[in-house]
Structure 1
Amino acid sequence: MKKFRARLTLLFVLLIGVSVGVTGIFVARMLQYSHIEALITNMKRELGILQVTTDWNHGGSLQEQMRYYTDEAVKLKKTADARLTYVRSDGKVLGDSDHDPADMENHATRPEIVEAAKTGQSGSSIRYSDTIGRNLLYVAVPVKDKNQTIGYLRLAMELTEVEQSIRQVWFGLFVGLLVVFGVAGLISYRVAYGITRPIELITHAAQQITDMNYKYRVTVDKKDEVGQLGTAINRMADSLQLQMKRISENETRLKSVLENMISGVVMIDKDGRIGLMNRSAEEILGFSAQELLGKKFDEAKQQYEFTQMIQECIDAREHIRDEMIFYYPEERILEINLSPISETEEDWAGVLIVLHDITAMRRLERMRSEFVANVSHELKTPIAAVKGFAETLLAGALNDKETAKSFLQIIFDESERLNRLIGDILELSKVESKRIPLQFSPVLLNTLLANCLNVMKTEAKKKLIELELIAPEDLYMEADEDRLRQIMINLLSNGINYTPEGGKVKLKVEPVASGSEGKEADRIRFTISDTGIGIPKKDLPRIFERFYRVDKARSRSSGGTGLGLSIVKHLVELHQGTIRVESEVGIGSKFIIELPILH
């Protein structure tokens, strides 16, 4: 813009300078012309006077005539203050005030003589004199006798004064032009600045808007077209700022949605390069966005089947949905949706891939199926026993009282077992669905655990099993008292059931601190140990699964449902605690529970 302003200023200066210069040259030329015309007129007047006073019929030889006319020319020069020359009609110089006529050339071809002869009035000419080295003005008039030209009288005057005057005019013109150029330059700059400055501001504002500075505005006070343009730029900037704000808000929302989506999203552009990945996609595929963005999808170190599925979608340009097992970074089942992206019906833009991790859902489906199968199996056994013994009784066994009584006892026991199984299934269902609201309150552990041992005392006596409680007095924690009692009774009952006669079941409680030593206790550790048959190491990882039994025959004979430990585990987790088991076959088992003191 500064260059444009300089060019505009220069243009104004040149226009003004040329205009003034042309005018000055014209005036100087006119002044020169009028001055010379005035000299010619004066010289003609003087020649007219000299013509009257000159005797053109002087006789004698040519030398005598030359002397006569030369003397006359010298004498008259003092009066006319100019060089005077007498020229015969044939161009022969008869006399001259400054030179010897004998040495002078024929003047018939001199411009002023030729013009005077042609017009019959006068002739004039300006030319450089080699003799004196200056410009001279020559004026000649014909001398006539009876309408016949008998000669010419010529005056020559130096133009030194005229040239000096013209030089002064030119000097004044040059100085004037310099002044005019200076004044014109200042005025032109101000005019150019007034024109270009608003345009410069508008251009700068447009550049700022191009550089995404949508808060920049033009400050133009003019009301002309430039001011209207500035106002339009400001309105455009307001509109762009509003639109960009909306776009930014939408982009932030979309980015937030993408980043917080559970499903993985991957976008592949029309060149087959990975252009977008959200955080879930990084976790599912096991690669960061920095590692994959910009790479071709077939160079991204993905499973061959996955790569082939993407290629199939690109080739067919149709939606594809399938399930696939991925083994890296961990084994999981993914539902893959591939959708072609088209900007228009003809323009191909790429592929959008949505990955759903359905491992947990498939595991739940499998667990549900296994649960139904297990429940069906567990229900079938007591029902079959009840049905079989009832049919036997109906077939005539009622007549034998001892047999009938034995069969009815079995039916009663199986009914009890069926009742317990149904109760445990309902209880587990409530616990797993978290439909049991826990009521936390301060619990005195010593009292609670003593009551639990009293409940199990009768059952322990039957097998001569010793029950032992080790718990500090005045130890409190926040817990749901009923659910904590259920946990302890289940584990104590389990220990009694799997401990041979004369064995021992011990319950130990102690406060523990998480982290470094010396910190205040923040957890309570419950340890339920027995001297039972123990659990093989291969069964330890599955001990808390539903319906899982280490010794199925003994479990059924003891009346167990196979759901007790699963219920315990869920109740411990509802208390934000942990449970683990340690066991050796033939020595016994130890269940360790840690629960936070406060909730």
Structure 2
Amino acid sequence: MFNSFRRKLTVSYLALIILLLIIAGGLVFTSFRQYYLHNLETRLTREAYLIADMVAYAESNHNQRMQELADTASRDNATRVSIIDRDGVVLGDSQFDSTQMEIHKSRPEVYQALRGEVGVAMRYSTTEKVKLLYVAVPQASGGVVRIAMPLAELTAINKHILFNLFLVLLISAVLAAILSSLMAKKFSGPLDDITDVIKEMADGNLTRRVSYQGIDELSILAESYNRMADSIEQGINEISEVKNRLEALLENSVNGILMVGGDGRISYINPVAISLLGLQENVIGRNKNEVINDYEIIAAIDRARKDLQPVRQEKVLHILGGKTVEMNIVPILSEDEAFQGILVILNDISELKRLEQVRKDFVANVSHELKTPLAAISGFAETLLDEEGEKSNHVSEFSRIIFDETQRLNRLVNGLLELSRMESEKMELNVLPVDIGEVVQNTLNAVQQQHQSVNICFDYIPPPAGIVIDSDPVLISQVLSNLLDNAIKYSPKGGRIQVEVLDYADRVEINVVDQGIGIPSQEIPRIFERFYRVDKARTRKTGGTGLGLAIAKHLLENLGGQISVQSTVAQGSKFTCTLFK
């Protein structure tokens, strides 16, 4: 990857090394050129002074003599020699005809030599068409001796030096590239490891750590990362535990929980709320007005959002068969009182409402049940007080009625006391091996003996073999007696009651089937409530208390069993007592 840290580091190292090599090569090249020019100038200066001495010892300054000296000196040092007088006139030149040459007094090097200094100049010669190095020195006669040397040798040397420098630079660049790559790999390796670990952390892997060891800044970075990863992993684990506990709490709560965000969209809903509101599973992120099909709930949520005050009210959900829920709608505010959303808690209070209705019915029924015999007792007792002694037949009849009503009150009170005892404390059971067929037969005989005057036929279908279970025979007999009494009260004259015992691998069932008036389907869930009657007038006429089925249910529950009923109006009912082995 071109933009990787290792590539950038390698290129940086290589560029730095090459730059240093270029700077060093340039300095070396410049220093060598200056050193060469300085040596060349020194050599030419010495030679010029030697020629000046030769000119001083010459017998005459004639042009011919000066030309000869110039030619001789030029052959000895392979340079161009010019002898110039104080007026700038060329007296002799080793390469050109001095008589044809112009005045050289204005030449920089000649000008300096005429002033008694060593003149040095480097310029392109229009005469020789090459670049020359000129060195001029003063002579004793006041003239100037000038030596000129072409710089072609210097140019060749410079080219050779530049070629060697380029070759060295190229080799150094290759070595620098290899060295830079190795150094970059060494320095970037730990960073690559840290980068890979951080990428894995971003992907959710919090277990990997950096294994780099050292004493430099990278080791400090690696150690700091490992400590940070440990802290993050521990924090995420703690958050996950809290999140899981919170999710378990919300998902398994008996209350419906719904959260609406500040934008009016549903941000959370648990299964109970989905069930209570009759919603689909995929409602997260949708607007509440689109998914909640109840105007009152939407209005309550909007009111809580508008007033920023909790709203509490009851609501009947007709879509779920008339379930009653208590809605607690609470606005969620931040620390700076900014609105963030709405929390809706739905509490199903249908059972509480049902129990409240049962309580109301119980109070009304008890009042009615007590009021009827008390009114009869009071009325007949008052009549007896007014009767005279000769009406003994009235006294006998009224006394019988008072007695019967008193017995009815006694049965009612005893039934209430028995129910209260069963509900307030756990009954002590006398558990022993019981022959179910024998208990049923004995109970049926006792009921037949008690109701001899009733024109009812009893059919008993015993089990094919003896059934012995561990239970309380007294309570079983009491349950069966209550069921038989109930069947007798609701059966017509000449009716038939069938008792059947069925044996299964894990349970025993006792069925009591009558041909009575039957029970409407909507009444079946309430027939085991105390004082609840399907036909109230018929039951009061027969002297029933309305507690028999409630007592039978509680007795079976204490035995670890259960009771159920199947019934068809005008055809009869079937009560099933189940005792588990």
Counterpart of 1:593 (choices 566, 576, 579) is 576
Letter in 2 for 1:578: S
Q: Secondary structure at the match of 1:461?
A: coil
Task: Quote the residue 1:35 is aligned against.
Answer: 36
Deviations 1:414-443 (A, max 9, x none): 222112222333444566779457777764
Asked if 2 retains the 8 angstrom alpha-carbon contact of 1:83 and 1:98, the reply is yes
Deviations 1:321-341 (A, max 9, x none): 111222223311111112221
Kindly state the Cα deviation for residue 369 of structure 1 after the two structures are TM-superposed. Answer: 0.8
What's the C-alpha RMSD, in Å, of the aligned pairs? 3.5
Task: Quote the residue 2:398 is aligned against.
Answer: 407
Task: Quote the residue 1:422 is aligned against.
Answer: 413
Whether 1:556 aligns to 2:553 is: no
After the TM superposition, which residues 470-549 of structure 1 pair with which residues of structure 2 at under 5 Å, given as runs? Answer: 470-476=461-467, 478=469, 481-511=473-503, 526-530=510-514, 534-535=517-518, 541=524, 544=528, 546-549=530-533
Q: Counterparts of 2:88 and 2:490 in 1: how far apart (Å)?
A: 165
Change (3 A) 1:354 1:301: closer
Question: TM-score normalized by structure 2?
Answer: 0.86
Deviations 1:354-397 (A, max 9, x none): 11111110110011111111011111112222333334445566
Letter in 1 for 2:150: E
Q: Identity rate of aligned residues, in percent?
A: 35
Whether 1:139 aligns to 2:135 is: yes
Change (3 A) 1:442 1:276: farther
Farther off after superposition, 277-286 or 181-190: 181-190
Kindly state the Cα deviation for residue 14 of structure 1 after the two structures are TM-superposed. Answer: 4.2
Task: Quote the residue 1:268 is aligned against.
Answer: 260
Task: Quote the residue 1:450 is aligned against.
Answer: 441
Asked if 1 retains the 8 angstrom alpha-carbon contact of 2:376 and 2:405, the reply is yes
Q: Counterparts of 1:132 and 1:444 in 2: how far apart (Å)?
A: 149
Farther off after superposition, 23-32 or 360-369: 23-32
Task: Quote the residue 2:96 is aligned against.
Answer: 99
Q: Counterparts of 2:244 and 2:60 in 1: how far apart (Å)?
A: 121
Asked if 1 retains the 8 angstrom alpha-carbon contact of 2:515 and 2:573, the reply is no
Kindly state the Cα deviation for residue 262 of structure 1 after the two structures are TM-superposed. Answer: 0.8
Asked if 2 retains the 8 angstrom alpha-carbon contact of 1:337 and 1:353, the reply is yes
Asked if 2 retains the 8 angstrom alpha-carbon contact of 1:460 and 1:466, the reply is no
Task: Quote the residue 2:561 is aligned against.
Answer: 575
Kindly state the Cα deviation for residue 458 of structure 1 after the two structures are TM-superposed. Answer: 1.6
Letter in 2 for 1:562: G
Q: Counterparts of 1:82 and 1:564 in 2: how far apart (Å)?
A: 150
Whether 1:22 aligns to 2:23 is: yes
Task: Quote the residue 1:62 is aligned against.
Answer: none
Deviations 1:80-118 (A, max 9, x none): 22222334544444443333445555434433223323x
Q: Counterparts of 1:562 and 1:363 in 2: how far apart (Å)?
A: 19
Deviations 1:225-262 (A, max 9, x none): 44334333332332232222222211111111111111
Task: Quote the residue 2:123 is aligned against.
Answer: 127
Asked if 1 retains the 8 angstrom alpha-carbon contact of 2:467 and 2:503, the reply is no
Asked if 1 retains the 8 angstrom alpha-carbon contact of 2:277 and 2:292, the reply is no
Asked if 2 retains the 8 angstrom alpha-carbon contact of 1:460 and 1:467, the reply is no
Change (3 A) 1:498 1:357: closer
Farther off after superposition, 96-105 or 351-360: 96-105
Whether 1:356 aligns to 2:357 is: no
Asked if 2 retains the 8 angstrom alpha-carbon contact of 1:549 and 1:555, the reply is yes
After the TM superposition, which residues 143-542 of structure 1 pair with which residues of structure 2 at under 5 Å, given as runs? Answer: 143-145=139-141, 148-149=142-143, 152-185=144-177, 188=180, 192-193=184-185, 195-202=187-194, 205=197, 208-209=200-201, 212-291=204-283, 293-394=284-385, 402-429=393-420, 435-436=426-427, 443-476=434-467, 478=469, 481-511=473-503, 526-530=510-514, 534-535=517-518, 541=524
Task: Quote the residue 1:517 is aligned against.
Answer: none
Unaligned runs of 5+ in 1: 60-64, 513-520
Asked if 1 retains the 8 angstrom alpha-carbon contact of 2:565 and 2:573, the reply is no
Farther off after superposition, 447-456 or 383-392: 383-392
Farther off after superposition, 381-390 or 87-96: 87-96
Q: Counterparts of 2:492 and 2:164 in 1: how far apart (Å)?
A: 138
Asked if 2 retains the 8 angstrom alpha-carbon contact of 1:258 and 1:265, the reply is yes
Letter in 1 for 2:443: C
Count of residues in Structure 1 that have an aligned counterpart in Structure 2: 574
Deviations 1:483-505 (A, max 9, x none): 43333322322333344554433
Q: Counterparts of 2:430 and 2:177 in 1: how far apart (Å)?
A: 94
Q: Counterparts of 1:551 and 1:163 in 2: how far apart (Å)?
A: 135
Kindly state the Cα deviation for residue 285 of structure 1 after the two structures are TM-superposed. Answer: 1.2
Change (3 A) 1:248 1:437: farther
Unaligned runs of 5+ in 2: none
Q: Counterparts of 2:466 and 2:331 in 1: how far apart (Å)?
A: 65
Letter in 2 for 1:97: S
Farther off after superposition, 471-480 or 261-270: 471-480
Q: Secondary structure at the match of 1:422?
A: helix
Change (3 A) 1:186 1:106: same
Question: TM-score normalized by structure 1?
Answer: 0.83
Change (3 A) 1:275 1:438: farther
Change (3 A) 1:296 1:551: closer
Letter in 1 for 2:531: F
Letter in 1 for 2:37: I
Kindly state the Cα deviation for residue 511 of structure 1 after the two structures are TM-superposed. Answer: 5.0
Change (3 A) 1:503 1:9: closer
Letter in 1 for 2:539: S
Counterpart of 1:74 (choices 71, 74, 83) is 71
Change (3 A) 1:141 1:484: same
Change (3 A) 1:399 1:115: farther
Asked if 1 retains the 8 angstrom alpha-carbon contact of 2:10 and 2:181, the reply is yes
Farther off after superposition, 500-509 or 252-261: 500-509
Q: Counterparts of 2:430 and 2:236 in 1: how far apart (Å)?
A: 52
Asked if 1 retains the 8 angstrom alpha-carbon contact of 2:501 and 2:509, the reply is yes
Q: Counterparts of 1:188 and 1:553 in 2: how far apart (Å)?
A: 109
Q: Counterparts of 1:387 and 1:371 in 2: how far apart (Å)?
A: 24
Change (3 A) 1:434 1:178: farther
Q: Counterparts of 1:570 and 1:549 in 2: how far apart (Å)?
A: 17
Change (3 A) 1:132 1:552: same
Q: Secondary structure at the match of 1:140?
A: strand
Q: Counterparts of 1:137 and 1:162 in 2: how far apart (Å)?
A: 10
Letter in 2 for 1:419: N
Counterpart of 1:85 (choices 59, 82, 85) is 82
Letter in 2 for 1:98: Q
Letter in 1 for 2:112: E
Asked if 1 retains the 8 angstrom alpha-carbon contact of 2:553 and 2:562, the reply is no
Asked if 1 retains the 8 angstrom alpha-carbon contact of 2:52 and 2:140, the reply is no
